[in-house]
Structure 1
Amino acid sequence: MPEATRAPAHDATEARLDALVAGLTLREKVGQLNQRLLGWQAVERVGGGYRLTDTFHAEVERWGGLGALYGLFRADAWSGRDWETGVLPQDRAEVAALVADAVRAASSHGIGALVVEEAPHGHQALGGPLLPTNLAVGSAWDPDLFAEAAEAVSALLRADGVHLALVSALDLLRDPRWGRSEECFSEDPDLSAALAAALVEGMQGTDRARVRAGEGVGVVLKHLAGQGEGVGGRNGHSASLGPRDLAALHLRAARAGVDAGALGLMAAYNDIDGIPCLANAGLLTGTLRDDWGFDGLVMADGKAVDRLVEILGEPRAAAAAALSAGVDLSLWDESYTRLEEAVDDDPALHGAIDAACRRVLRVKAELGLLGDAVDGGRPAARDRVDLADRALGLSEALAERSAVLLRRGPLPWAPREGARWVVAGPHADLATSLLGDYVPPLRPDEAVSVAQALEGRLAPDGADVALVPGVPAADDLRGADVVVAVVGGTSHREPDEQFADNGASAGATAADCGEGVDRADLRLPAGQDGFLRRLRGEVDAVDAGHAGDGGRRPWLVAVVVAGRPYDLSGVLATADAVLLAWYPGPRGGRALARLLVGDAQPVGRLPVTLPAGTGVVPARWNERMTPDGVYHDAPTAALATVGAGSGYADVGLLGWRVAARDGGLVVEVDVLGRAAGGAVAWTGPAEEVVRVVVRRRGSLEWTRPELAAFARVRVRPGERATVVLTVPRDRAFVAEPAPLALVETDLTVVVGTRSERRTVAPEAAPAR
């Protein structure tokens, strides 16, 4: 910041940080950089209360305070904390205060500890509000709704005494074999960037205002960078990326998050072109700080610094490499505890330690955790019950708006007296299948399955809902109107499973998605394609005399619950209607029931490509060259691609205009709402995502299609509307044209299943 434009408050903070860093001993500085302790080991329930453990006191005494405490409230199969042993929701603020007071008392300067919690899609704590997974959020194409949901979760986190939330937001789903696909918003960098910015704005407020007011938490966005490009979809493996693709694809969301004010970023496990991300000074210092002006902290992923020992041979060298590259705060590492010894070997590390300590303390200053803070970083007083209810309501809204209708068939099938629904499939009555990875144990009333939700919705109307285990026989289907088959996958893990030292799956598991659960086969797991074929045969075997109302065989509706893009060829070949839900969260069963019966319509659109087979992946919508027509045994690589999906009414493209403005383009798109057929006439509005796709020409670089702008539109059947989208110049045209090249852009407007392309020049010349 130029000297003349510095605000007095900024100068005062910097002066305070100068004095504080100068007054700390080397041991205290290193302590500020360590986040070694697993937080659930810091406190234990005793009778009706809680006490800090000897392990916690030893760690605080060792450093004369504490930099950060991870997972104080984490509850899941790995931590072993549940409703009998974990911190109860109503007690979290009390326990956080217990920790805060102990750390401040041990610090010679009264510096508090950062309380850091996992919140990839809601708080991973008992009773913590859970949202649909990121892949579902991407399907909603609704940054405003997501920002509102993130704000609600953030408010509850801060009310519970949390300061930083670790939130997945930066990974692109570039290979569906990767187990962490569910943590990605999209395969597209622009959609991901819009949602990353919405997340930061929602949790932290504009210019971090909610953080400073004690009403929100700081965000640590993970993971930087390129983790979704791991070779073969293998978790944490090398990303073979050049600087162009790294910047254009995998850094776009990170830049959007930094521009929105994110207080932290997490360095990823993987390497890029052989250099581990957390030892990549060009990335963590050159790009992040020097080029982008990032002023927050960089955290290592769990045990990631210790993994450098395999390369460098010694913990001190591993710590020095990460520190020198720009890592400020470790996570569970032993190597960072050796930084004092590393300084003995290389006194020049003193400066790097001071710089990292200063960055950690600057974040603490934002959160009121320095010694002269009056409130000691205490959150603003909020009603946590109201906050939780609001967060769950928004979770259900996101779940409803994220489901993707791949085939409409007879839907919606309205409830009516005497109708009979049969629900079957391996995930029909499993509420845990709706949740995704990184979730706490839920009480029975915190989530309902699809079968339970349908029963609750249809019973008051006099309809019968029968849950049939296994493959229903024709006799089970007598008189049925609709058969709902709930298939797909789960990330649910049991306490008796094996876990790696970072909490990832490390052995046999019932999960087929989640961290540590990469898959080589993208067909539905456990032979579910065969299940659907057998069910189709039984449905077809129902004779006319035993059919449901209307005298026809039952409709077969497939509800696919998933955390990755499966090969759904078998599902689409078998079912009359297909509804896809990406782990929609604890209220997902209710949302899906509402969509099936027509209380609402599906408005989700794919944020990823659905592959036509395992052998064609990776296959992305924005490849430089299309994968279609390449494989002789699989000429079509995709079953459906980004933007696909339909509703119970349609939006048609009437026409569009483009004009140059401020060097960029303004695109005006005229649309028309249209009614659609089906078992029940939908009388509500139609919704669609209007997209502007550009493919720039004029430089030597072989460009790819880019999602330059998008917006949702809602119109009633017969109603017209105009959607205005702006494409900035740097997204519309190449910045550095090659000599004699014709600078122009192929611009495509996409509305639902219809698209139109034109070629435009910087002056927005008419179509050629």
Structure 2
Amino acid sequence: MADIEDLLGRMSLREKAGQLSLRLHGWTAVDRAGDDHVLTGAFHAEAERCAGLGGLYGVFRSDAWSGRGWHNGILPERRAEVAALVGEAGRRSSRHGIAPLLVEEAPHGHQSLGQTLFPVNLAAAAAWDPDLVEECAAAMGAELRAAGVHLALISGLDLLRDPRWGRSEECFGEDPRLAAELTAAQVRGLAAAGVGAVIKHFAAQGEGSGGRNGHSAVIGPHDLAELHLPAALAGIEAGAVGVMAAYNDIDGVPCCANPDLLTGLLRDRWGFDGVVVGDGLAIDRLAGQTGSLRAAARAALVAGVDVSLWDTAYTLLEDLVTDEPELVEAVDRSCRRVLRLKQRYGLLPGPADPRPEPIVVRDAASLSRALAARSLILLDDPAGVLPVRGRTRTEPVEVPDTTVPRPLRQAQDDASTSSGNVDGTFLVAVAGPNADSVTAMLGDYVPPLRPGDGQTVREALGAHWTVGDEDAVERADLVVCVLGGTSHRAYSEEFADNGAAGEATAANCGEGVDLSDLELPGDQVDWLRGIRARARGPVISVVITGRPHVLTEVIKLSDATVLAFYPGPYGAGAIADLLTGAAEPTGRLPVTLPSATGVVPVRYNDRLDSTRSYVDRPDPVLRPFGSGLGLRTVGVSRLAAARIADGIEVEVGLHHDHETAVPEVLQVYGKRLGGPFWPRQRELLAFRRVEVPPGGQTYRFVIMESDAFAGPDSTTVIMVGDRTVEISATSSCPAPR
């Protein structure tokens, strides 16, 4: 095993600075030449400039920004070979035999050709299933490791505090506990596969003013700690090896030049010993504050940024330290962290630290399919349209006011019910902007699928029913309207310098696509109103999106409404299973759905009730956080709380009258009273996906002291469903048993 201090002592300033740079776009390092891959002049120039390579970002990245696709990108079967080519060339370029780290984007699947794509984080949050998320991350990690990748950049630290933000889809919702548990699950899954997680973005990026990407987080230290830090701490405790500093500032101090955040909190208080990475070009952007790139590099380095991504500023470190020798200690500190990380992955001379043995995971595609199924949310089904089984018949009904749903179909399960079509076929009209789109289900940060891969909603429903298009609406027994948006970015588009969508993008969600209006894009609501007027059968709306849109009119105009946050390439099959009854809807909202654009931001854990705040919109919440319908109802039969030594124990009894187990997401909330801060309306204290057996079952939770109470003399109101119980921090504890 290499002696890092000895190695550090033998390295030149240029070599040390080179270890702190991920400047080269990795996809420009290798070209396909027929059946072979060759290193480019850009690779050799960067290796020479750095006297070795700290790492390469995105060697395998394939998407519209990189310009790599199936015609010119690195094919799946050649990835390990290319990783070895790059690694050995990088090692040879270093006189000390130090190989580069290979770093890849993997927010919901490795962003490279042929890898398994998963539902976006917002969909994963809607599933409320940390165990399944961990399995998906392990499967993703296994694919990354097989490709020779060391580090995966994963989102999860951002809270969705304003749905106008284009990066809403990358969040695990608006609640810090849900985000913390899912972030930790992702980190553990990757670690089990031997891949290091770099968690992003640190911190409070989801708090950007007005939902504008990268803008100031106007937030105090208490809310910062209570809302935006739990996911980061959970990820670090789960084993994250890196943290990416965010673009935004907090109270005017940029995150990537914030010593209190990156050193005082992250290092000194939390004891984090991994690497801090600046987001793409974030350090260069500091020049707008500091006045020069050299000053920008100094500010980031002193604050605690170890590794720069694409910046020019860190290429100036050698000259900077030559002029300011006292900064050599900061360079050594960061270089030491990078070398320790490289030692873990066998990139230094000598034997490597033992990496975990390859794990055996379920088929990645089946995991993606399972997560998609659990993420779908049934928002509304007032007369029980779902599931649609057998032949369905709705007699034509005159509906003068097309803004009000008309009576629904009759006797759905009566097989003798006849169809209105001449040949007796049960006909389903499938229409809408996302009815024939595979890419609309994938989200941002995705590679192109193989030609012919993926399935549209129309195709998935066609496996069950006879399907027509919009021309069949008047004679169809059922109309399925597939609405929403897309984060798909075409290869013909232009991009910002950090890969975010450019101004002329056709996408209406994703990085660089912030919106001022949360109504569905285009004229979708007017179009749906027209469909409603023409349809003689029930109308089911399926909304595929990456953010919480205003769905007030959609729900009014539909007999049932399903919300699908980008569910991935297997989402169409999951939607078909839900509509046909092959699967039950079990997704629950990880965000608050607003009733109008003008009410946002509105969150369930705000400190004051938003109801009646606006005289023109007395109820700003269309659907609350945590809500969602199932096909069968589960009730709360008992709620009790008892003081224990280190917190409180909560018992919840659930019951139902069905003959088989019913899936449910059990959520325990609290309102903490009596502390020094104005209490939030509700806070998620615990949750669990359960299968409630016939007759019911009791579930127990232990809520830790720090989560349960706001202070030593405070009280907490525990809430499950419509039941509440109050418990005091001064309540006596039962004697030990």
- TM class by shorter chain equals over 0.9
> 2:124 matched to 1:124?
no
Distance 1:532 1:433 in 2: 19
Report deviation, 1:344: 2.1
Structure 1 residues 378 and 296: alpha-carbon distance in aligned structure 2, compared to 1, 3 A threshold: closer
Distance 1:564 1:745 in 2: 32
Distance 1:163 1:324 in 2: 26
Report deviation, 1:364: 1.1
Contact (CA 8 Å) 1:429, 1:449: kept in 2 or not?
A: yes
Contact (CA 8 Å) 1:111, 1:371: kept in 2 or not?
A: yes
Q: Which residue of 2 aligns with 1:167?
A: 154
> 2:697 matched to 1:730?
no
Q: Which letter does structure 2 place at the counterpart of 1:483?
A: V
How many percent identity over aligned positions? 53
Out of 112, 126, 135, which is 2:99 matched to? 112
Q: Secondary structure at the match of 2:183?
A: helix
> 2:442 matched to 1:441?
no
Distance 2:557 2:358 in 1: 54
Distance 1:373 1:598 in 2: 55
Q: Which residue of 2 aligns with 1:7?
A: none
Q: Which residue of 2 aligns with 1:281?
A: 259
What CA deviation, in whole Å up to 9, does each residue of 1:453-473 have, x standing for no partner? Answer: 1112x1xxxx311133xxx4x
Q: Secondary structure at the match of 1:581?
A: strand
Distance 2:646 2:328 in 1: 48
Report deviation, 1:379: 9.7
Q: Which residue of 2 aligns with 1:3?
A: none
Q: Secondary structure at the match of 1:393?
A: helix
Out of 507, 520, 527, which is 2:523 matched to? 527
Distance 1:379 1:26 in 2: 34
Distance 1:568 1:345 in 2: 59
Contact (CA 8 Å) 1:665, 1:764: kept in 2 or not?
A: no
What CA deviation, in whole Å up to 9, does each residue of 1:157-200 have, x standing for no partner? Answer: 01001000011110000000000000001100110001011111
Out of 609, 616, 620, which is 2:592 matched to? 609
What CA deviation, in whole Å up to 9, does each residue of 1:185-222 have, x standing for no partner? Answer: 110011000101111111113xxxxxxxxx42100001
Contact (CA 8 Å) 2:672, 2:710: kept in 1 or not?
A: yes
Structure 1 residues 703 and 311: alpha-carbon distance in aligned structure 2, compared to 1, 3 A threshold: same
Out of 705, 708, 711, which is 2:685 matched to? 708
Contact (CA 8 Å) 2:375, 2:564: kept in 1 or not?
A: yes
Q: Which residue of 1 aligns with 2:317?
A: 339
Distance 1:467 1:236 in 2: 41
> 2:361 matched to 1:354?
no
Report deviation, 1:727: 0.4
- Aligned Cα RMSD in Å? 1.8
Contact (CA 8 Å) 1:170, 1:221: kept in 2 or not?
A: yes
1:80-479 alignment runs, 5 A limit: 80-205=67-192, 215-373=193-351, 390-408=363-381, 409-415=384-390, 418-456=425-463, 458=464, 463-468=465-470, 472=471, 476-479=472-475
Report deviation, 1:572: 0.7
Contact (CA 8 Å) 1:132, 1:398: kept in 2 or not?
A: yes
> 2:714 matched to 1:746?
no
State how many pairs are aligned.
698
Q: Which letter does structure 2 place at the counterpart of 1:113?
A: P
Contact (CA 8 Å) 1:513, 1:564: kept in 2 or not?
A: yes
Distance 1:39 1:696 in 2: 49
Q: Which letter does structure 2 place at the counterpart of 1:432?
A: T
Q: Secondary structure at the match of 1:702?
A: coil
Report deviation, 1:378: 9.8
Contact (CA 8 Å) 2:639, 2:724: kept in 1 or not?
A: no
Out of 697, 722, 727, which is 1:755 matched to? 722
> 2:610 matched to 1:627?
yes
Distance 1:155 1:336 in 2: 32
Q: Which letter does structure 2 place at the counterpart of 1:464?
A: T
Report deviation, 1:144: 0.3
What CA deviation, in whole Å up to 9, does each residue of 1:112-168 have, x standing for no partner? Answer: 111000011111111121110000000000000000000000011010010000111
Structure 1 residues 415 and 285: alpha-carbon distance in aligned structure 2, compared to 1, 3 A threshold: farther
Contact (CA 8 Å) 2:280, 2:311: kept in 1 or not?
A: yes
Distance 1:466 1:95 in 2: 47
Contact (CA 8 Å) 1:484, 1:559: kept in 2 or not?
A: yes
Contact (CA 8 Å) 2:157, 2:203: kept in 1 or not?
A: yes
1:580-595 alignment runs, 5 A limit: 580-595=563-578
Q: Which residue of 2 aligns with 1:697?
A: 673
Out of 494, 498, 503, which is 2:499 matched to? 503
Distance 2:485 2:358 in 1: 40
Report deviation, 1:381: 7.3
> 2:625 matched to 1:642?
yes
Distance 2:15 2:322 in 1: 16
> 2:67 matched to 1:71?
no
What CA deviation, in whole Å up to 9, does each residue of 1:656-702 have, x standing for no partner? Answer: 22112223111111101245xxxxxxx75322221221222222211
Q: Which residue of 2 aligns with 1:660?
A: 643
Q: Which letter does structure 2 place at the counterpart of 1:106?
A: S
Q: Which letter does structure 1 place at the counterpart of 2:675?
A: S
Report deviation, 1:449: 0.9
Report deviation, 1:703: 2.1
Distance 1:646 1:381 in 2: 39
Contact (CA 8 Å) 2:676, 2:710: kept in 1 or not?
A: no
Distance 2:644 2:524 in 1: 53
Report deviation, 1:747: 1.6
Q: Which letter does structure 1 place at the counterpart of 2:37?
A: Y
Distance 1:311 1:244 in 2: 26
Report deviation, 1:345: 2.4
**Range with greater deviation from structure 2 (700-709 or 134-143):** 700-709
Report deviation, 1:373: 2.8
Structure 2 unaligned blocks of 5 or more: 392-423
What CA deviation, in whole Å up to 9, does each residue of 1:326-359 have, x standing for no partner? Answer: 1000000000000011112211110000000011
Q: Which letter does structure 1 place at the counterpart of 2:8?
A: V
Q: Which residue of 2 aligns with 1:8?
A: none
Q: Which letter does structure 2 place at the counterpart of 1:252?
A: P
Q: Secondary structure at the match of 1:633?
A: coil
Q: Which letter does structure 2 place at the counterpart of 1:403?
A: L
Structure 1 unaligned blocks of 5 or more: 1-11, 206-214, 540-552, 676-682
Contact (CA 8 Å) 2:297, 2:317: kept in 1 or not?
A: yes
Q: Which letter does structure 2 place at the counterpart of 1:688?
A: E
The structure whose residues are more often helix, as a share, is: 1
Distance 2:452 2:655 in 1: 43
Distance 1:367 1:450 in 2: 43
Q: Which letter does structure 2 place at the counterpart of 1:392?
A: A
Contact (CA 8 Å) 1:652, 1:674: kept in 2 or not?
A: no
Q: Secondary structure at the match of 2:643?
A: strand
Report deviation, 1:380: 6.6
Contact (CA 8 Å) 2:482, 2:543: kept in 1 or not?
A: yes
Q: Secondary structure at the match of 1:707?
A: strand
Contact (CA 8 Å) 1:43, 1:51: kept in 2 or not?
A: yes
Report deviation, 1:505: 1.0
Distance 1:36 1:271 in 2: 23
Q: Which residue of 2 aligns with 1:210?
A: none
Report deviation, 1:323: 0.6
Could you tell me the TM-score, scaled by structure 2's length? 0.92
Distance 1:670 1:263 in 2: 40
